[in-house]
Amino acid sequence: MGQLTSLLTTRGTRIETEDGEGVHLKGVGLGGWMNMENFITGYPANEALMRSSVARVLGQERSAMFFDRLLHSFFGPADAELLASMGLNHVRLPINYRHFEDDERPFEIKEDGFRHLDRVIDLCADAGLYTIIDLHAAPGAQNHHWHSDNVTHVPLFWQHPHFQDRAVHLWEVLADRYKDRPEVAGYNLLNEPADETHERLTRFYERIVGAVRAIDPRHILFLDGNTYSTEFDVFQEVWDNTVYTCHDYASAGLSFGGEYPGYTRGEWVDRDLLEEKFLRRSEYSRKTGTPIWVGEFGPVYTGEPRLDEQRAQILDDQLEIYSRYDAGWAIWTYKDIGLQGIAYTPGDSVWMQRFGAFAAKKHRLGADRWGTTGVGEAAVTDPVRQLADREFPTFQPYPWGRQDWVNTLLLNVMMAQPLVDEYAELYRGMSDDELLELADSFSLENCAVRETLAKQLTAAAAPVS
């Protein structure tokens, strides 16, 4: 095992080893791995729906073979070594509860789900990288969107205590398994919760913190704020050895973003605004004297050189701000099909040759929320938006208002879900060897590296002299 022999702990605003050596967490999120996201690997809608459709085409056994190979290929020794060579020191590991428990058999833990999690924790440790286990998709879905594997737009996690019971039980199992593993920096208990009442999340955090601490009192807890980790009024007390995590996406750096500096959806976005929003999102950490860690941030790249230069400037500005306020960070995301990743599948890869045309259709229809402008076929979608504005002018549903609600239902559910069967059909007729070759598209040896991004992160990860 690697040299990570000391559990990390918080001491005031610092994260330290047990011997008092400061550890400034700078790393990446491994999105698209044990929680597959549609924009990362190119499928439509949500993961569970996609997997079931692919299984109908390939059969359960061959489908399981393919996805198991994909998990192996997506992160291996070379990936850990690349990240370590850049000077990064940790990897946030998003997981979907479905790897560890089936809805048909709640509370029955699947030991097989730990194969890949243990494998990557070990690989990272061997390379000198800490890991943070992140429950990205909880039973019932803790937020409204695809990244919690939500098949609708309703976060049922908050409405049914049964789902919360299962999340607590899973974390009890995880805490018991990793309580003596210093390579694990800590537990990110719930990614981007979205509780409209702002009360149920408070009660849930009180419960789950107590449950985990009863088993593992030593690992750091990373607690996301409410409303996708941007609001922190749900916390009633400051827990020991806890980091209050903010996410800090810049609107100008997203798929619908405009010029930088410039206007994005009517808001002037420049470096000063980036700092203002970061200070707002990190206020609770600064007020309570606890470590600042930005659990997600990072621009989406367009392929258009001028705009991508501006996206690179956004990232430089954010990294400089984080450095000035001594904030740790984990950029989103490490590997994908070319939107955000440090490593990505190039256009001539086996993966993109098979799915490239489909991805273009998905983009045209606006079915991919993170990777498109959210317009779709304007001749169809604009009248629906206008109708909603005209007929329901005071309707502003949580979390992001009327237009986001329309786009979610119209594009990311109604348009995306019929595309799932079309996507699955692209697997039909493939031999076992072809499936394995397809999965291996995500091996680092078959990927390209976004060199500008890698150089920016390497520079930001360098120790301050």
Domain count, the chain: 1
Segment 7-47, tens digit of pLDDT: 999 999 999 999 999 999 999 999 999 999 999 999 999 99
Alpha helix (H) ranges present in 325-394? Answer: 350-364, 378-391
Q: Residue 36's pLDDT is what?
A: 98
3-class DSSP string for 318-329: HHHHHHHCCCEE
Q: Cα(first)–Cα(last) distance of the chain, in Å?
A: 29
Active-site residue (options: 108, 296, 304, 445): 296
Selecting among 108, 192, 276, 304, the annotated active-site residue is 192
The answer to whether residues 63 and 430 touch, using CB atoms and an 8 Å cutoff, is no
In a domain, 197, yes or no: yes
Domain membership of residue 426 (yes or no) is no
Classify residue 369: in a domain, yes or no. no
The CA distance from 60 to 54, in Å, is 9
Rounded to whole angstroms, what are the CA distances from 426 to 63, 229, 347, 354, 382? 13, 36, 17, 7, 31
**Is a pLDDT exceeding 80 seen at residue 294?**
yes
324 contacts 286 by C-beta, under 8 angstroms = no
Instruction: Give me the CATH number covering residue 240.
Output: 3.20.20.80
Confidence of residue 399 (pLDDT cuts 50, 70, 90): very high
Residue 28 to residues 132, 295, 402: CA-CA distances in angstroms?
A: 10, 9, 32
**224-270 per-position pLDDT tens digit:** 999 999 999 999 899 999 999 999 999 999 999 999 999 999 999 99
Res. 2: pLDDT tops 60: no
**Full DSSP string of 197-238:** TSSHHHHHHHHHHHHHHHH-SSSEEEEEPHHHHTB-TT--S-
Q: Is 302 helix (H, G, I), strand (E, B) or coil?
A: coil
Question: Cα(376)–Cα(365) distance, rounded to whole angstroms?
Answer: 4
Confidence bin at 1 (pLDDT 50/70/90): very low
pTM score, two decimals? 0.98
In a domain, 105, yes or no: yes
pLDDT digits (tens, 9 = 90+) for 102-126: 999 999 999 999 999 999 999 999 9
Residue 339 lies in a domain: yes
Q: Does residue 57 belong to any structural domain of this protein?
A: no
Residue with tokens 């003596």: 180
The one-letter code for the residue type at 308 is D
Report if residue 154 sits inside a domain.
yes
pLDDT over 70 percentage in the chain: 99
Confidence of residue 465 (pLDDT cuts 50, 70, 90): low
What gap in Å lies between CA 318 and CA 248, rounded to an integer? 9
pLDDT number for residue 243: 98
Segment 165-178 mean pLDDT: 98
- Does 16 qualify as catalytic in the annotation? no
Res. 437: pLDDT tops 60: yes
Structural domain contains residue 308? yes
Q: Which range marks the domain in which residue 236 is found? A: 8-33+75-345+447-461
